[in-house]
Amino acid sequence: MDLNLSEHIVRTVVIAPSQRIDAFNAPELRAALDQQIEGGARRFVLDLTNVPFLDSAGMAVLVRLLKRARDQGGDVRLVWPTEEAARRIIRLTKFDRVFTMAETAAAALVDF
């Protein structure tokens, strides 16, 4: 019997920042995400539960991650922040239409 067997393992990374994602710390987050992609991660859950605020630099990091993940055949899920200011930014920028949103990291993982 001839069998062709291939195993496909797709790494999923959950990242949960616990502070603002702004111009001051966006480069650090971008570097951490880049390192994960270079290490083979393709699917990401960004748990924004404890993120009180996002600015345009933080949003740019999220868009860059989405583009890079999709270029590699992966995707990104975001978990809604609990802080209303951060939720409002996501809604105003329509990121909730660009990204698949979840209420918890567990729900985002199941969605993959």
Is 3 contained in some domain? Answer: no
Domain ranges, residue 89: 11-111
Is 101 contained in some domain? Answer: yes
Is 6 contained in some domain? Answer: no
Is 58 contained in some domain? Answer: yes
pLDDT per position as a tens digit, 37-49: 999 999 999 999 9
- Domain total of the chain: 1
The structure's pTM equals: 0.87
Is 2 contained in some domain? Answer: no
Closest C-alpha to 53, from 19, 96, 30, 103: 19
pLDDT of amino acid 112: 85
Q: What is the CATH number of the domain that holds 35?
A: 3.30.750.24
- Provide the Cα torsion 70, 72, 74, 75; round to 10°: -30
